[in-house]
Structure 1
Amino acid sequence: MESVAKTKNISIDIQIEDKQYVYADMNMLETIFRNLLANAIKFTRNNGKIVLSVRKERSLTIFSVQDSGIGIAPRKIENLFKIDEKHTTLGTNQEIGTGLGLLLCKDFIEKHGGEIWVKSQIGKGSDFEFSIPDHSLA
């Protein structure tokens, strides 16, 4: 995704400490991040910024993909993760999407016992966060 971000001069700041562990399917986790990062790039204007971070809360690992993009209207947020709602929006460079990436993310996250949510402000950006419960490797 780095080359796509570079075409829009978007910086990606990774605020993840080394040696962070979560018990999860690596392929699913990579797909979740790829989809969320692709959306962040799509909806961030040229010269914007994206921040990837991870934090621990109680028995959860919380992942965040935050952008300085165009934001999402509250009425659209309600339907983002519903399969029966069409919510395709053109990106800042007229990129086209199907809206299926977020549904796939939701499905993969729920298969791990987690949740996904978004905080957003029009004109200021969005912060997609998702949780994966901590599981013992024993």
Structure 2
Amino acid sequence: IKVYADINMITSIIQNLVSNALKFTPTDGTGRVIIHASESEAGVHISVRDTGLGMSQTQMDQLFQQSVTASIKGTAGEKGTGLGLVLCKRFIDLNHGQISVDSREGEGTTFNVTLPAATNAHQALTQEPPKTEKVKV
């Protein structure tokens, strides 16, 4: 599955979503963090789901607002700046994507990201070095 997006921004988004999921999920062996990706006509869908603390509707409504900088402590008392999701939203917007959240208190949270699919190999994110041709001089 390949997306048409900036690799550094998308890497930051995924790292932040996974980090948050781990932060709010119990570490006693009962918690789970699941990452899933699929492709459809609408684009590439990436979800990060956890079985952690979950959020109230009020918390979800404030997640992507720049004016809100208070953060919730994680399961081990971890603190954050509250800016990670604001940056994720901005990076996703810059890459012509969408982000949404679904959560239930005590049951967990799922972040859903949709990004444009790459339509050819030149648009795809890749870690492989570009192919070069040898030229005689």
TM-score w.r.t. the length of structure 1 is 0.82
Q: How many pairs does the alignment contain?
A: 119
Work out which of the two has the higher radius of gyration on C-alpha atoms and give 1 or 2: 2
Equivalent in 76, 83, 86 of residue 66 of structure 2: 83
User: In the alignment, does 2:42 pair up with 1:59?
Assistant: yes
Equivalent in 41, 55, 63 of residue 22 of structure 2: 41
Higher relative CO (Cα under 8 Å, sequence separation at least 6) belongs to: 2
User: In the alignment, does 2:2 pair up with 1:21?
Assistant: yes
Contact map agreement 2:37 2:46 (CA 8 A) in 1: yes
Whose strand proportion is higher, 1 or 2?
A: 1
The letter for the 1-side match of 2:53 is: I
| Deviant stretches of 4+, over 6 Å | none
Q: Which runs of 5+ in 1 are unaligned?
A: 1-19
- What fraction of aligned residue pairs are identical, expressed as a percent? 37
Find the counterpart in structure 2 of residue 125 from structure 1: 108
Q: Which runs of 5+ in 2 are unaligned?
A: 123-137
Cα root mean square deviation, aligned: 1.2
Offset of residue 86 of structure 1: 3.2
Contact map agreement 1:76 1:87 (CA 8 A) in 2: no
TM-score w.r.t. the length of structure 2 is 0.82
